[in-house]
Structure 1
Amino acid sequence: MKIYGDRQSGNSYKLLLLTSFLEIPYEWQDIDIKKGETKTDSFLKMNPNGKIPILILDDGRILSESNAILNFLAEGSDLIPKDHFEKAKVLQWQFFEQYSHEPYIAVARFIRHYLGIPEERRAEYESKQEGGHKALRVMETQLTKNKFLVGDYITTADISLFAYTHVAHEGGFDLSSYPKVLEWIKRIESLDRFKPMNSI
């Protein structure tokens, strides 16, 4: 199978981390979003939404949206709970990641780390800080109860949230105010077959 992604993208990194944890073989195809490679006709035929990552299976079927791909690849593994309620909690955290976390932390990271906060985007960057800290506070509260987001073992929910949280400082977020989040980051980084970002 092939994974199309950008090495700098947290959404792409989710899949890198999962395939490493589960030792799933794949072929990586670089897509540079800053060069507009997700807007080409050939890419849009694969994903009309023009976003990465996408997964192309051996039989040619295509799946997009990082968390959908994550759960598809992890199905049947210990990263997906067998209990229906706990499985729903994984989805709850993944929806949280896409609607309450990524739009603030990932976007602030992009504006600050890759664009250098151009003046025309400064107000947008500053507006992302409050939402990002709110998301981190929600995570901090949950991680005072459990080692991981759904319980005492890692799930795809943790992989989804880890991708952009562990580089949140690149978006101007000081994680020292969130000790449980920092412990959780170290806990994931200490797991067997952990693979850091940009190590494709």
Structure 2
Amino acid sequence: MSDWPILHEYAASGNCYKIRLTAALLETPIERRAYDIMKGETRTPDFLATVNANGRIPVLQVGDHFLPESNAACFYLAEGTHLVPHDRFERADMLRWMFFEQYNHEPNVATLRFWMRWVGEDNFSDLQRALVPVKQEAGKAALALMDEHLAERDWLTGHDLSLADICLYAYTHVAEDSGLFTLADYPAVRRWIERIEAEPGFVAMEE
């Protein structure tokens, strides 16, 4: 086995993709191990005992250490690089956007993508059906906030690409997959997406 970090992942997940994208932009090699979450492969006794007791991916394995939570894994890879601002305030602002992604953006935009594409409306529970319009409005609010912020700047924080951009790009660029969001409504976000995709080393999401 190589000495590279190992990414335990499901390729269609934006949370897994953001780690791959961070590694690619930094030219950091990683080994990939795939799991099919739809077949319960992250809920097996072996996975729970050796990879993540929470039964979720992504998990970044570094030697004998296992690091769950996608944004933490991105930070591990990027610490000390140009993707983490040196300025104290900008670094804290980067974290602010990463927290925003996990609390305001991902639970709405990403969850609806998964529900609509992988679960399917015919299989929704009563709770899921009731939550769709709530999450749609919350997702639109998150995208609108990003659009307003990016209307006057190229990147979410500072003057260069940072982990804040990578972490929010992962699910933003596929927001339309759910059929519930229209990126044309957010022109500044669309321009920001194009800037990220023009970065040297950029790799697309695999599905």
TM-score (norm 1): 0.95
Query: Take 1:5 and 1:86, find their aligned partners in 2: how far apart are those partners?
Result: 30
Q: 2:136 matched to which residue of 1?
A: 129
Deviation (angstroms), 1:63: 0.8
Query: Take 2:136 and 2:152, find their aligned partners in 1: how far apart are those partners?
Result: 25
Is the contact made by 1:54 and 1:64 (CA closer than 8 Å) also made in structure 2? yes
- Unaligned 5+ residue runs, structure 1? none
Q: 1:96 matched to which residue of 2?
A: 100
Query: Take 1:99 and 1:155, find their aligned partners in 2: how far apart are those partners?
Result: 19
Query: Take 1:130 and 1:183, find their aligned partners in 2: how far apart are those partners?
Result: 22
Query: Take 2:158 and 2:186, find their aligned partners in 1: how far apart are those partners?
Result: 19
Query: Take 2:30 and 2:132, find their aligned partners in 1: how far apart are those partners?
Result: 35
Deviation (angstroms), 1:145: 2.3
Is the contact made by 1:111 and 1:125 (CA closer than 8 Å) also made in structure 2? no
- Which stretch shifts more, 169-178 or 40-49? 40-49
Identity of aligned residues (%): 44
Is the contact made by 2:8 and 2:34 (CA closer than 8 Å) also made in structure 1? yes
Q: 1:39 matched to which residue of 2?
A: 43
For 2:162, the aligned partner's letter is T
Query: Take 1:123 and 1:112, find their aligned partners in 2: how far apart are those partners?
Result: 14
Query: Take 1:152 and 1:182, find their aligned partners in 2: how far apart are those partners?
Result: 18
Is the contact made by 1:112 and 1:125 (CA closer than 8 Å) also made in structure 2? no
Query: Take 1:132 and 1:50, find their aligned partners in 2: how far apart are those partners?
Result: 26
Q: 1:191 matched to which residue of 2?
A: 199
Is 1:68 the counterpart of 2:75 in the alignment? no
Query: Take 1:15 and 1:34, find their aligned partners in 2: how far apart are those partners?
Result: 21
Deviation (angstroms), 1:133: 0.3
Q: Of the candidates 52, 55, 73, which is equivalent to residue 50 of structure 1?
A: 55
Q: Which runs of structure 2 are paired with 1:105-120 in the superposition (5 Å)?
A: 105-118=109-122, 119-120=124-125
Q: CA RMSD in A?
A: 1.2
Query: Take 1:146 and 1:35, find their aligned partners in 2: how far apart are those partners?
Result: 42
Query: Take 2:84 and 2:61, find their aligned partners in 1: how far apart are those partners?
Result: 21
Q: 1:83 matched to which residue of 2?
A: 87
Any idea what the Cα deviations from partners look like across 1:141-177, whole Å, max 9, x if unmatched?
1101210100321000101000000000012201111
Q: 2:184 matched to which residue of 1?
A: 176
Q: 1:161 matched to which residue of 2?
A: 168
Alignment: residue pair count: 198
Deviation (angstroms), 1:23: 0.9
For 1:17, the aligned partner's letter is L
Q: 1:28 matched to which residue of 2?
A: 32
For 1:56, the aligned partner's letter is Q
TM-score (norm 2): 0.92
